[in-house]
């Protein structure tokens, strides 16, 4: 059984690792030229995905890199009123610890035999048992697994569905080494998540394991072309920060100070999702895991689902080593149900975040009376 996995993200690597634990080797084709070729993002909260790490034999190592204190939360209003502060006690169970995506990916990468990941191999097309790469190379497969994320190219082999914009645009920024550079702001943000909700926009700050605080300014109910008319000059970071401060007009000066303290990384990101409850007729020889299968609003489920997809597909393959179609069908029917439920829950949370009174509704969510 030759298994070709496209994409060395969390889903593809979890799949390769759990297969390896069960004595089945696979090859992961990744378009990035090396493991450190680009920044690997911020923090992820890992809850249901811990099961995948247990199946991967990595749960103890996971807890050494996870940050339980990252579960801390502060919720504020634009005038600076603190609505909620939740600090994680030292002895609290690590049910939803935060982990740096780069650290989690490194844990999975280091757990694979040398040569499992082939770097610099960008999937271009597939057919007749061969994967074709954009450099003209090719490789054989019995099973092709698209673990190639939100903009998956493998997905087109199974469905015409494409991600669509959901009316949220985010500007991502960050303050490096905040304890040293801005200790006052470090104390304000705290150890975990810091949220400020206004009408139609929010500011989210989150401490990362490397001392950087990542900040997202979210604009809700905005169209796909919103950045074009936003007046945010992404090619001039200082002017972009000044424009963001203007857009937070009337907000407490401390929130303006957070933006002013950011470095020159100012990135636009548009939020897209796949249709809720997406399925496809099972097709022998090809399947999808993670965002390629079920891109959902970014409210804390996507990474967990990707890890679980990878682990559960591996278990299905280990259970039916001589019957690929049965293994794929078993995996997909469970995944459609599980990921569909997670996507529905995420869509409900997204609807709450986009509502005009999101701060108060979130407070009620976390502190039901
Ligand atoms: C660099 C990066 C940073 C991220 N940062 C965050 C974050 O801060 N917070 C958050 O919530 N989520 C983040 N995400 C998304 C998050 O990791 C996923 O939503 C979730 O983990 C699902 O994982 P996945 O394995 O399905 O996809 P991903 O983790 O997105 O992995 C997909 C992989 O496929 C590779 N790939 C794509 N196209 C091809 C191709 N044609 N050929 C070969 N390889 C290909 C990509 O380079 C990537 O390594 C990030 C993703 C990436 C890639």
Of 152, 126, 148, whose CA–CA distance to 139 is shortest?
126
Looking at ligand 1, which atom is closest to the CA of residue 8? Answer: 49
Report the pLDDT value the prediction gives residue 285, as an integer from 0 to 100. 95
pLDDT band at 39 (very low <50, low <70, confident <90, very high): confident
Q: Sort strands 82-86 and 98-100 into parallel, antiparallel or unpaired.
A: unpaired
Distance CA 196, CA 114 (A): 45
Residue 266 has pLDDT above 90, yes or no: yes
Mutate to test the pocket of ligand 1, among 4, 6, 9 (most ligand atoms within 8 A of CB): 9
DSSP annotation string for 306-356: HHHHHHHHHHHHHH-TT-HHHHHHHHHHHHHHHHHHHHHHHHHHHHHHTST
| Residue 356 alpha carbon to ligand 1 centre in Å | 31
- Percent of the chain past pLDDT 90, that is, above it, reads 89
- Percent of the chain past pLDDT 70, that is, above it, reads 100
Looking at ligand 1, which atom is closest to the CA of residue 133? Answer: 42
Residue 325 has pLDDT above 90, yes or no: yes
Residue 368 has pLDDT above 80, yes or no: no
Contact 125, 132 (CB under 8 A): yes
Report the pLDDT value the prediction gives residue 347, as an integer from 0 to 100. 96
Report the pLDDT value the prediction gives residue 37, as an integer from 0 to 100. 87
Give mean pLDDT, residues 123-142.
Answer: 96
- Residue nearest ligand 1's atom 15 by CA: 303
Ligand 1 shell residues, CB under 6 Å: 6-12, 29-32, 38, 40-42, 44, 101, 122-123, 147-149, 153, 290-292, 298, 302-303, 306
| Residue 290 alpha carbon to ligand 1 centre in Å | 9
Q: What is the pLDDT of residues 41-77, one digit of tens each?
A: 889 999 999 999 999 999 999 999 999 999 899 999 9
Residues 6+ apart with CB under 8 A from 241: 173, 259, 260, 262, 266
Q: What is the pLDDT of residues 138-165, one digit of tens each?
A: 999 999 999 999 999 999 999 999 999 9
- Residue nearest ligand 1's atom 26 by CA: 290
Please give the CATH topology (third level) of the domain spanning 3-70+93-162+275-352. FAD/NAD(P)-binding domain (3.50.50)
Report the pLDDT value the prediction gives residue 329, as an integer from 0 to 100. 97
Give mean pLDDT, residues 221-235.
Answer: 96
Report the pLDDT value the prediction gives residue 238, as an integer from 0 to 100. 98
| Residue 235 alpha carbon to ligand 1 centre in Å | 25
Spans of all domains in the chain: 3-70+93-162+275-352, 164-272
Report the pLDDT value the prediction gives residue 352, as an integer from 0 to 100. 93
pLDDT band at 79 (very low <50, low <70, confident <90, very high): very high
Distance CA 43, CA 192 (A): 10
Q: What are phi and psi of 202, to 5 degrees?
A: -145, 160
Residue 369 has pLDDT above 80, yes or no: no
Of 8, 49, 54, whose CA–CA distance to 301 is shortest?
49
| Residue 22 alpha carbon to ligand 1 centre in Å | 25
Question: What is the CATH number that goes with domain 164-272?
Answer: 3.30.9.30
Q: What is the pLDDT of residues 169-223, one digit of tens each?
A: 999 999 999 999 999 999 999 999 999 999 899 999 999 988 999 999 999 999 9
Report the pLDDT value the prediction gives residue 93, as an integer from 0 to 100. 80
């Amino acid at each position: 059984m030759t298994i070709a996995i496209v994409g060395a993200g969390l889903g593809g690597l979890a799949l390769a690792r759990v297969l390896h634990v069960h004595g089945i080797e696979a090859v992961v084709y990744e378009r990035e030229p090396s493991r450190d070729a680009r920044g690997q993002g911020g923090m992820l909260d890992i809850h249901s995905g811990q099961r995948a790490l247990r199946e991967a034999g990595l749960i103890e190592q996971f807890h050494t890199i996870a940050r339980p204190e990252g579960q801390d939360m502060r919720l504020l209003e634009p005038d600076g009123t603190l609505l909620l502060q939740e600090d994680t006690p030292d002895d609290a169970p690590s049910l939803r610890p935060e982990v740096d995506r780069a650290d989690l990916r490194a844990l999975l990468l280091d757990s694979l035999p040398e040569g499992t990941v082939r770097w610099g191999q960008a999937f271009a097309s597939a057919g007749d048992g061969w994967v074709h790469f954009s450099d003209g190379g090719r490789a054989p497969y019995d099973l092709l697994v698209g673990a190639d994320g939100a903009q998956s190219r493998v997905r087109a082999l199974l469905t015409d569905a494409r991600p669509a914009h959901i009316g949220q645009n985010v500007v991502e920024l960050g303050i490096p080494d905040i304890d040293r550079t801005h200790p006052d702001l470090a104390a304000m943000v705290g150890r975990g998540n810091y949220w400020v909700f206004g009408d139609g926009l929010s500011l989210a700050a989150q401490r990362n394991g490397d001392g950087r605080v990542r900040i997202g300014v979210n604009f809700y109910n905005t169209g796909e072309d919103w950045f074009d008319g936003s007046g945010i000059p992404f090619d001039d970071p200082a002017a972009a920060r000044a424009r963001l401060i203007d857009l937070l007009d009337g907000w407490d000066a401390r929130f303006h100070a957070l933006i002013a303290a950011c470095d020159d990384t100012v990135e636009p990101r548009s939020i897209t999702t796949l249709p809720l409850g997406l399925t496809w007729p099972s097709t022998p020889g090809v399947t999808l895991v993670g965002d390629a299968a079920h891109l959902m609003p970014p409210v804390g489920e996507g990474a967990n689902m990707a890890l679980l997809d990878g682990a559960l597909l591996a278990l299905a393959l280990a259970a039916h080593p001589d019957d690929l179609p049965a293994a794929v069908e078993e995996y997909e029917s469970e995944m459609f149900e599980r990921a569909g439920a997670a996507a529905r829950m995420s869509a409900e949370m997204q609807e709450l975040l986009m509502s005009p009174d999101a701060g108060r509704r979130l407070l009620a969510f976390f502190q039901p009376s």
